Amino acid sequence: MNIREYQSPDRPSVIRCMARFGDYLVTVDHMKRTRRMPEFGEWFTDKMLEDVGKNNGVIYVVENEGRIVGFVAGIILRQSRQDLLECVPTKDGRIIELFLDEEFRGQGIGTRLMEMVEEYFRQNGCDVSRVEVFEPNVKAHHFYRKLGYGDRMIDMIKML
């Protein structure tokens, strides 16, 4: 198992991982509001790459026997004027994506990815690390709690 920084030739493999991530989210959505269209993997990968490029971010990939089986992406946020009016000054790191093929979960690899991106944030002066969790993804929520993350905002929905 090798964890290293993303390189442009990794894009097709990350697209495949992102598509599997979309498939997984569909299976855990008890409200059946999530779908994965054929363009999902490519579009979300390109969006992630754009966000990382614009926001002093980083992507680490997990390679197993020459095959990418997961990744984490983090960006460093800039506080807006509105943020400064309602929040204490801070420098936030935000994990925007984390995925690991199911067969590699529970082996400490996800924890290692999180440690690496958190260290990247620390080295870049961040004092907070944030991650958003899709509520039905109970396993991810438990994983982040185990790493010391706590709930901050809750987005609620009501079917009409």
Q: Provide the pLDDT for residue 114.
A: 98
Mean pLDDT by 10 residues, the chain (160 residues): 96 97 95 95 98 98 96 95 91 97 95 98 97 94 96 89
Q: Provide the pLDDT for residue 68.
A: 97
Contact call for residues 107 and 101 (beta carbons, < 8 A): no
- The string of DSSP codes covering the chain is -EEEE--GGGHHHHHHHHHHHHHHHHHH-TT------TTHHHHHHHHHHHHHHHTT-EEEEEEETTEEEEEEEEEE----HHHHHHS----EEEEEEEEE-GGGTTSSHHHHHHHHHHHHHHHTT-SEEEE---TT-HHHHHHHHHTT------------
Q: Dihedral sign, CA of 4, 37, 151, 109?
A: negative
Q: Provide the pLDDT for residue 159.
A: 87
Could you give the angle at the alpha carbon of 146 between the alpha carbons of 152 and 72, nearest 5°? 80
- Strand order of the β-sheet with 128-131 is 2-5, 58-64, 67-76, 92-100, 128-131
Q: Provide the pLDDT for residue 94.
A: 97
| Residue showing tokens 């093929």 | 101
Q: Provide the pLDDT for residue 97.
A: 97
Of 93, 108, 29, nearest to 62 by C-alpha is 108
Q: Provide the pLDDT for residue 155.
A: 86
Q: Provide the pLDDT for residue 48.
A: 98
